[in-house]
Amino acid sequence: MRKLLELIFLTMPFLMGCSKSGGEGTGTPDPQPPSLMLSSVQVNQVMANASATNYNIDPAATIKLKFNNKVSRATVVTAIAIRENGAAAVPANIGYENNDSTVTVSGTAALKYLTKYTLSVSTSLQSIEGKNLVSPSEYRFNTKIDSSRKFPLISDDALLTKVQQQTFTYFWDFAHPVSGLARERNNSGDVVTTGGSGFGMMAIPVAINRNFISRAEGLARMQKIVGFLKNTAVKVKGAFPHWLNGATGAIVPFSSLDDGADLVETSFLMMGLLTARQYFDDASSAETTLRNDINTIYQNVDWDWFRQGGQQVLYWHYSNNNGWGMNLPVKGWNESLVTYILAASSPTHSIPASVYQTGWKSGSQYLNGNNYFGYNLPLGPPQGGPLFFSHYSFMGINPTGLSEAGINYAVQTKNHTLINYQYCRTNPNHFYGYSDSVWGLTASDIENGYTASSPTNDVSVIAPTASISSMPYTPNESMAALKFYYYVLGDKMWNQYGFTDAFSLQNIWFANSTLAIDQGPIIVMIENYRSGLLWNLFTSCPEIVSGMQQLGFTAPYL
């Protein structure tokens, strides 16, 4: 027995040594350092979302990155970065909390307002034990709006005048030097727009009455424009193309088949010409000649030809090269009501009322009758379509007291606008920035393109012309938007030609473009709200009165 005990005693160290597999004397494996993982990111105590953009972030915010382990400070500076618009790195202050398991990041100075930032964390970040971060992370942050006032406060009346005057410079200072017509946009060179020029002509009486220019200056500009249109510009059946070369008068194709007459753009041009004719009404030889030349231009438009062989509808386009290749009938409801009114009003090439009744009113989205946001919409597509439907024709046609076949056009234009307003205010797509001061969906530039925005085609882009040009219908809502665009966003979108075309607070995008067809309604519709000047001028045309009566319209001015 004693020998057996001695044997056991002698072999115990060997047996104990064989049981070890890790640290000396522990009897268990050494624990491996944990992998380094990012647990959460917080911005001012609010959890950040890694799968979507984080909006409305204070530029002075501190970002806290919480890890499951202590980090190696030596690796933080190169592994964690804030970048502005995904490119330039922003100098950052780095701090540490919770025994180096939380890293705090903020700009060395406050970040910029309304700017895109990206916070990235690369796998080069290591724990104190030398373990690399398991996977990289990236967080997108958009900083909030700077709500400070960018310009001194002035009275509402003075602000309306300022907006009209500065917007008018697009048509006055930037007009084509040869023709006097409005360039399509602020970078279009010799390309001028016929419809936008019509809107610009409507702005000239406003400018004279508001003392932006003298009557003599306005007359001289109209003489240049009318002379060019009458004697130089290429016409097809008396109608004008969408675009012209402002120096030569040649047609500039709008598309491969659209290289001839555009009847709707021609109608906007004629609305402007007839409005100017009514304004320049004295007996002087200069103004008499101007009126006679305008009559010649209007009476030469062969409206009836655009029935394409006597059909009961007008067609939008005709080309000497492509004939009726576009084959687009002008059917409602859209911006083209004035086209039928001008065609019916022509003293030389008029259309019968049946073309209006059978053609225009046969559009698949002519009648509506549904309620949206509590507002009944007599005409148009679901939720009304883009707001220019209630602007372009109604720059000259006064909807107040206007009715035809039971349709109240004051209700149509106002409720269309209120539906658009309430849609933006309700904001079903949850786009950042939409509010009772940021609203208005219509056709405009968008980032890398152009679209007709509406409640059924909402891409987060707001166009100032939409809400401002609705001033006659929704004066309080439109004024709130105008003030916000000017005072709060003015550093981003107010320039020598008034407001730029469009913006998206969701994507922090501001157009640098200015379009004639969007600037014109701002001047004209503000004036119609203030004085009714353009409504009174256009509807004083005896031809227009006669034409509208023939189509069945009734109004106090008819």
* β-bridge mates for residue 121, sequence order: 80, 137
pLDDT at 91 over 80: yes
Residue-wise pLDDT tens digits, 270-312: 999 999 999 999 999 999 999 999 999 999 999 999 999 999 9
- What is the domain count for the chain? 2
Checking phi first, is residue 40 left (phi over 0); if not, alpha (psi -120 to 50) or beta? beta
Write down the H helix ranges in 37-155. 73-79
> Does 136 lie in the same domain as 193?
no
- Domain co-membership, 93 together with 136: yes
Answer yes or no: do 372 and 438 share one domain.
Answer: yes
- pLDDT for residue 9 is more than 90: no
Residue 6 lies in a domain: no
Residue 358's contacts (CB-CB under 8 Å, 6 or more residues apart) are 312, 313
Q: Which two tokens stand for residue 221?
A: 């500009």
pLDDT classification of 28: cutoffs 50, 70, 90: low
What is the mean pLDDT of the segment spanning 95-119? 93
Q: Examine the domain organization and report whether 397 and 493 are in the same domain.
A: yes
Same domain, 122 and 259: no
Residues 341 and 461 in one domain: yes
Residues 208 and 113 in one domain: no
For residues 50 and 166, state if they share a domain: no
Q: Using CA atoms, how far apart are residues 141 and 15, in angstroms rounded to an integer?
A: 62
pLDDT tens digits, 485-508? 999 999 999 999 999 999 999 999
**Residue 363 forms part of a structural domain:** yes
Same domain, 102 and 243: no
* In the predicted structure, residue 16 carries a pLDDT above the cut 80: no
- 433 in the same domain as 406: yes
Same domain for 222 and 341, yes or no, is: yes
The range of the structural domain enclosing residue 488 comes to 156-550
* CATH number, residue 287: 1.50.10.140
Last residue of a domain, one of 95, 115, 143: 143
CA-to-CA distance for 275 and 204, rounded, in angstroms?
A: 10
420 and 297 part of one domain: yes
User: What confidence score (pLDDT) does residue 34 get?
Assistant: 85
Query: For 214-225, what is the mean pLDDT?
Result: 98
Between helix 263-279 and helix 215-231 the angle, nearest 10°, is 140
Q: Note the residue count of the chain.
A: 558
The answer to whether residue 11 is domain-embedded is: no
Cα separation, 501 vs 145, whole angstroms: 19
In a domain, 130, yes or no: yes
Rounded to an integer, what distance in angstroms lies between the CA atom of residue 213 and that of residue 201?
Answer: 13
Q: What is the mean pLDDT of residues 68-87?
A: 94
**399 neighbors 388 (Cβ within 8 angstroms):** no
* The pair of three-digit structure tokens given for residue 257, joined into one six-digit string: 């088949």
Closest by Cα among 442, 419, 546 to 501 = 442
Interval 270-281: pLDDT, tens: 999 999 999 999
Query: Does any domain span residue 234?
Result: yes
Which residues are within 8 A (CB) of 8 and not within 5 positions of it... i.e. 6 or more apart?
none
* Mean pLDDT of the 201-210 span: 98
Asked whether residue 369 is assigned to any structural domain, the reply reads yes
Q: Are 389 and 420 in contact (CB under 8 A)?
A: no
**Which of 107, 36, 34, 95 is CA-nearest to residue 64?**
95
Query: Does some domain include residue 558?
Result: no
Nearest to 427 by CA among 416, 413, 417, 441: 441
In a domain, 503, yes or no: yes
CB 478 within 8 A of CB 159: no
Residue among 450, 381, 449, 445 at smallest CA distance from 416: 381
Residue 30 pLDDT grade (very low, low, confident, very high; cuts 50, 70, 90): low
Distance between CA 197 and CA 188 in Å, rounded? Answer: 14
pTM for this one? 0.92
Tokens 């809400």 found at: 467
**Separation between Cα atoms, residue 378 and residue 416, nearest integer Å:** 9
Return the ∠ at Cα 295 (arms to 232 and 332), rounded to 5°: 95
Identify the pLDDT of residue 450.
98
From 120, 143, 166, the end of a domain falls on 143
The per-residue pLDDT for range 305-353, each reduced to its tens digit, is 999 999 999 999 999 999 999 999 999 999 999 999 999 999 999 999 9
Output the six-digit token pair for 164: 């009209």
Q: What residue has token string 């017509």? A: 181
- CA pair distance 553, 116, nearest whole angstrom: 52
Residue 126 has pLDDT above 70, yes or no: yes
Please tell me what DSSP assigns to residue 191: E
Residue 2 has pLDDT above 90, yes or no: no
Show the beta-strand stretches assigned E in 112-189: 116-121, 137-143
